[in-house]
Structure formats: structure tokens, C-alpha cells
Structure 1
Amino acid sequence: MAIIAQLSDIHLAAGRDGEVDDGSGPVRALRSAVSSLLSLPARPDAVVLTGDLADAGRPAEYARLHALLSPLPMAVYPLCGNHDDRDELRNVFKDHPAIAATATSPQAPLQYAVDVAGVRLVCCDTVADDHLRGHMSEERLAWLDEVLRAAPDRPTVVATHHPPYPIGMRFIDDVRFVDPAGFASVISRHPQVVRIISGHVHRASVGSLAGTVSITSPSTYRQLFLDLTKQGRAAVTGEPAGFALHLIGEDGTATTHFAPTGNYRPLMDVE
């Protein structure tokens, strides 16, 4: 069984001096998330970062991100979100061969596939040209189809930043996939895809796409207010930060847990 941890929407932000303040909220929150992963009785085999890792796509933000993640002993795989800069993010994680191989041209899509303990993790680039909405061009969809066809018998997790299903929160749904139908068509042809995991929503949700369970992870920093009304107020809440853990079996079984950050230890044994 593979255990894949998902951290999302970290939003490390540089100040006016161009540096990231170590006492800032996003830094403290990421430290707590890293500590939480390290305290798990069964440590993940890998960590995937589902976008909006920096707040403004600045080099200092990614350098600090890389440093804050350095205590993790397992591989870390990043995706771009609408707040990210592909080339700056790629430069910081260029020690991963799969990521370095994506540097085919300036701002080339940051998309790649890796193996994690017998499971395939496919990281998609869903950032549209306007750096707000989610979109996968025909070229990106063709790449995804080819990557999935290459390993039809291996349980696969597909990671995106933008969720491909409606969340029910107006201002989030306004900036999700522009055209999820093409993405759904590709997924429907590959039954080995056992989970689609996304960020962007700043809270946990569970949906489906083409018969595949799809989820969004909580943010490691701030959660968005759950307003399901037609008007949809855009606001943050005081809800705890969190992350997701995906347990993927070699037989294709998949279970997802959502956990708040913090080192929660057993209060008593249950007989």
C-alpha cells in the first residue's frame, strides 16, 4: 500500500523587502503541517503539493518553501496553481529528474508522472493563460491520455490544482475548470485512475468525475467560508488548517483521510 500525503494552498508570501517573514502565518502553518507529517505513526511514501504554493510566484517564496519542506525525508512533488510561476517553481525543484525534464521552453506546462511505492502519481498542469481559471488544452489532454495509456494496470492518482467537479461555492465554481468535459473524457478511458486529487478550494470536499472519486484538500494555511448560497460570500474562517492522506492499494483500493494539522496523540487505548 502506498501512502501519499497532500498539502495544498500554502501561499507563502514575500513582504515588501522581497523576503518571506519567518514569523508569518503561512510559514508557521507550513511548519505545523510538516511536523504533523513527521509525527504520523506511518509516514507517507511521498508528498504532493497541489498548487498555490507561493502567493505571488516570487523566487524568495519558492526558496523558503523548499527550505521549510527540507525536514521531510520522502520525495515531494509540486504542482502549479494560479498563484504560482512555473519556471520559478521548476527551478527550485530541479533536483527531481521528472520535473527538470519539463523545462522544454519558458513557462512550459509543469506536468509529469512518477512512481510512488507501486502507485502512479500523475501531476497535471491546469493553470489557464489568465492565471485564474482551470483549463487543460488539447495538448495537455493528449499528454495525459498518453501517460495513462503507458501504464494501464497500475493504480493511478491524478493530481490537479483546480477541481474538475462543482463545489457549490459560487466564487470557487466561477474559477474552476473552464471545460471539464475533455478531462472527464480522458479519465473515463482509464479505469486504473482510482482518485483525482485537487486543491484551490481551501477546504475538504468529495465529488466524482467520470465515475472516479475526486477530492479537494484543506489548505495548510486558511480555510474558505462554506457559503453554499446563490450569492456566495468570499471569506476566510478560523477553521483549523489540514491536509489529506491517500492510501492506495496495489489492488486499486483507495481511501482518503482528512486531518487537521497539529501533533494529536492518543488520549487512551480503546479496548
Structure 2
Amino acid sequence: MTIIAQLSDLHLADDDPAPVRALREAVTTVLALSTPPDGVVLTGDLTDHGRPGEYALLRTELERLPMPVHPLPGNHDDVDALLEAFPAVPAANYAVTVGGVRLVCCDSTIPGQPGGTLSDPEWLEATLAEEPGTPAVVAMHHPPFPIGVRWIDEMGHADPDRLSTVIARHPQVVRVIAGHVHAGSVSGFAGTVATTCPSTYRQVHVDPGGRQALSTAKAGFALHLIDGLNAVTHFRTVGATAV
């Protein structure tokens, strides 16, 4: 079984120590897991302003993790600054192997826009076609399904049908994972399951018909457990450890 930890919406800022402290606690919780993840994926909004100094803070906080960490951008990030801070990441769209799983990291950002869309569907199609027999997790920042909350969906994924067409052709995709929402959610998507992840910092009050507001929910992250074509996702609260 392969375990992938997903941390999202860190919003590290060089003018506010609070999100840095929050990430530090999230990393401590990951390190306390009884079975360590095989890898960690960061699904966007890693920084609040996309400044080089914020990515330097991020690298410092991630040094405690012994497993590989795979970042991808969100709408608060600067793609060039992110790639400069993580020279091992070859491009905004890239794929790696984590345990026995293909982790496909996609850039869904549109410069200057809070919403997003798949930046390179042809690349995703070709990448998934390379290893049709290997279970795959497709990761991005913007969820490709409506959350059911108007103000969140207005800055969501602009063309989920295009992504759905690609994913549906590749039954080895066991999860499509995203961030952006600052809350955990689950939906059927293109013959598989799509999820969003809590934030390591502040959570959003997800209330259909409600106004935009932060919630009092604790920070969290997701754990994706993949065994062949079987997968299960757990949402964990930061600070909660095994007894």
C-alpha cells in the first residue's frame, strides 16, 4: 500500500508568522503518524504573495520531512518563484512515482485570476498514457467539481468537462485531488473520485447559500491510501496523534 499525504493552502507569508507556525504543527502531526507517508504533495497556495522569501520559509519548514515533497502552484503562488525555490521540480506540470503510484501534478492556475483551469490537457493525456497499468493520482489546486457554495464555485475550475474527458479515458486514475476550498469534500468525477483538502492554516465555512466566512474548524490535511486500483482518503486534524 502507498500512502500520500496532502497538505494544502499553507499561505505562508513573510509578514505574518501565524501560517508558518500552523505549517510547523502540521508537519509535526505528519511526523507523528504511526505509518509514515511515502510522499507528500502540496496542492497550491503554498504562499500568500508568491514572494521568494516566502518560498524560502517553506523550504525551511519542509526540511523536517524525511520523505519526498512534491509542490504544485495555486492562484496565490508565483510559478516562476516556486520553480526557482524547488530546482528538482522540472516544470509546472510534472509526474513522479511515489511508492507504486504515479503522482501527476498539474498546474491549474491562470495568472492574475483566482479561478483556474487545466493548463495543458495534452500533457496530462500523454503522461497518463505512458503508464496505463500503474495506479495514478492526479493533483491540482482548483477542484474540477462544484462545491455547491456559490462564491467558491465562482472562482473554481473553468472547464471541468475538458479534464473529465481526459480522466475518463484512463481508468488507472484512482483519485483526482485538489485544494483551494480550505475544507475537505468528496465527489464522484469521470468514473473515479475527486476530493478537496483542508488547509494547514485557516478553514473556510462551507455553507450553501451562506456568505464568505472563515470557520472555527481546526487545520487539517488528507491521507490517500492506495492499494492497486483501490483507494481510500482520510481527513486528519492537525495536532491529533495516535494514542
Q: State whether TM-score is above 0.5.
A: yes
User: Structure 2: how far apart are the matches of 1:124 and 1:131?
Assistant: 17
Deviations 1:160-193 (A, max 9, x none): 1000001011111001111111110000100000
Provide the rounded CA distance (Å) in 2 between the counterparts of 1:169 and 1:223: 14
Whether the aligned pair in 1 keeps the contact of 2:2 and 2:38 (CA below 8 Å) is yes
Which among 45, 52, 59 is matched to residue 52 of structure 1? 45
Match of 1:193 in 2: 173
3-state SS in 2 of match to 1:36: helix
Larger radius of gyration: 1
Opposite residue 200 of structure 1, the aligned amino acid is: H
Unaligned stretches of 5+ residues in structure 2 = none
Aligned to 1:62, which of 55, 64, 67?
55
Counterpart amino acid of 1:190? H
Q: How many residues matched?
A: 243
CA distance in 1, matches of 2:230, 2:118: 27
CA distance in 2, matches of 1:246, 1:43: 12
Tell me how far apart the structure 1 counterparts of residues 95 and 160 of structure 2 sit (CA, whole Å): 21
Q: Distance in 2 between matches of 1:192 and 1:84?
A: 30
Tell me if the contact between 2:33 and 2:242 (Cα under 8 Å) persists in the aligned partners: no
Q: Where does 1:87-236 land on structure 2 (aligned, <5 Å)?
A: 87-94=80-87, 96=88, 99=89, 101-102=90-91, 110-137=92-119, 140-229=120-209, 232-236=210-214
2:217 maps to 1:239? yes
Separation (CA, whole Å) in 1 of partners of 2:49 and 2:226: 33
In 1, the alpha carbon distance for the partners of 2:46 and 2:122 equals 26
1:263 Cα offset (Å): 4.2
Match of 2:241 in 1: 264
Q: Deviations over 1:185-240 (max 9, x none)?
A: 000100000000000000000012111100000000000012211xx311111110
Listed one character per residue, the Cα deviations across residues 37-59 of structure 1 (whole Å, up to 9, x for unaligned) are 00000000000000000000001
**2:75·2:111 contact (CA, 8 Å) conserved in 1?**
no
Q: SS state of the match for residue 258, structure 1? A: strand
Report Cα offsets for 1:135-174 as digits up to 9, x if no partner: 124xx00000000000000000000100000101111100
| Counterpart check, 1:5 vs 2:5 | yes
* Aligned equivalents of 1:126, 1:46: Cα separation in 2: 21
The whole-number CA distance in structure 2 between the counterparts of 1:8 and 1:77 is 11
Corresponding position: 1:71 with 2:64: yes
Task: Find out whether 1:34 has 2:27 as its counterpart.
Answer: yes
Letter in 1 for 2:172: Q
Runs (5+) with no aligned partner, structure 1:
16-20, 103-109, 267-271
Give the counterpart letter for 1:242 in structure 2.
Answer: G
TM-score of the aligned structures, taking structure 1 as reference length: 0.88
How many angstroms does 1:29 deviate by?
0.6
In structure 2, what is the Cα distance between the partners aligned to 1:211 and 1:174? 24
RMSD: 1.0
With normalisation by structure 2, the TM-score equals 0.98
CA contact (8 A) 1:83 1:131 kept: no
**Is contact 1:220-1:261 (8 Å) kept?**
yes
